[in-house]
Each structure stands twice: as structure tokens, then as C-alpha cells.
Amino acid sequence: MDYQDRHVVVTGGTGALGAAVLDALLQAGALCHVPYRSNLVSAYLCSRSAAMTLRRLGSGERIVNVAARQALEHRLGAGSVTYTIAKAAVAALTTSLGAELAKEDILVNAVAPSIMDTPGNRAAMPKADFQSWPTVEDVAAAILFLASPANTVTRGAVVPVYGRS
């Protein structure tokens, strides 16, 4: 996918997934911007700002947020309620904004990865089946497709990226 000279904002770009997304975007020629805030705040502020800017640019633009499996399967959030609430809010933000901006040909989507295969997750769960987890590169590929001009119809979706987990 060609992102040559396209400006891309990657919220959460300092984490394992964010680094993989940034790497893929930079290799595709994108000019990347990486704000950092925790929780739902960066997704909301950046989506709001992006929507205002993209409306001025015209049609064909994309916003892709990152939720989590717990956003779609709330019971998996036992023990991490705050995280689950924040990711569920990102999913709601995505579907609502996707509906609001569809008429302007601005497609808003999110990915909802399960536990990803990262060194930190392996260390925290040494007995888990790492092979069933999606890699950060797998999730980054889903994000890049949703953000690309090749995505012409998917909007308001929260796409599960679970691997075999």
C-alpha cells in the first residue's frame, strides 16, 4: 500500500503495536505524527481534530482507532475494568463517528486485537500458547488496510483481529 507523503497520526504510537504500525507506515512512505495520552483521551481528541481537518480536505480520508477484544467481549475484561471501559468507549466512538462522517466519504473504523504476541505479554503469561496470538505486524497490516485508499466501503466497523486465540 502506498502512503507516499500522506500525513498519518498514530495515537498510542509508543507501544508495541504503535511501533509496528509506525514502521509499516514509514516503509510505505507516510509522514507520521505520534501524540501520546493515556486511555480513551487521545483517541477522542485526535478523532475530533481529524474529523474537523478531514472535512475541510474533502472525501476519501480515513480514521482508524484501536479498541481491544474486551470492547467486543466485555466479560473478558474481568480484572481490568478500567481498560475494558476505555476500549469499549473507543469502539462506541468509532461506530458513532463512522455513521456521522460516512456521508462525507470519511471512513472511520477500528481494530480490536486480542492479546498480541509481544515480549511483555510473553513474560506476563509464560505458559500461554503464543502461537495463537496475532503478532503486532498482523494487527498493523489490518490497520494499514483500513486506513488505505484500497478500503472503499468498510466504515463504522470494529474489526476483530484475534489470530487463533
- Identify the three-state secondary structure at position 65: strand
* 13-27, 51-65, 125-139: the lowest-pLDDT one: 51-65
Residue of 3, 36, 44, 83 marked active site:
83
Q: What are phi and psi of 62, to 5 degrees?
A: -135, 145
Task: Specify the pLDDT at position 38.
Answer: 63
- Percent of the chain, pLDDT > 90? 72
Task: Specify the pLDDT at position 151.
Answer: 95
Mean pLDDT confidence for 88-109? 95
pLDDT exceeds 70 at position 37: no
Contacts of 97 (CB under 8 A, 6+ apart): 47, 51, 63, 108
Other residues' Cβ atoms within 10 Å of the Cβ of residue 60: 12
pLDDT exceeds 70 at position 118: yes
Q: Which CATH number is 7-161 given? A: 3.40.50.720
Task: Specify the pLDDT at position 154.
Answer: 97
Q: Could you tell me the pTM of the whole model?
A: 0.91
Q: Hey, which residues does 32 pair with through a beta bridge?
A: 8
Query: Which whole-number Å values give the CA distances from 124 to 47, 81, 162, in the listed order?
Result: 32, 18, 18
For the question of residue 44 being annotated catalytic, the response is: no
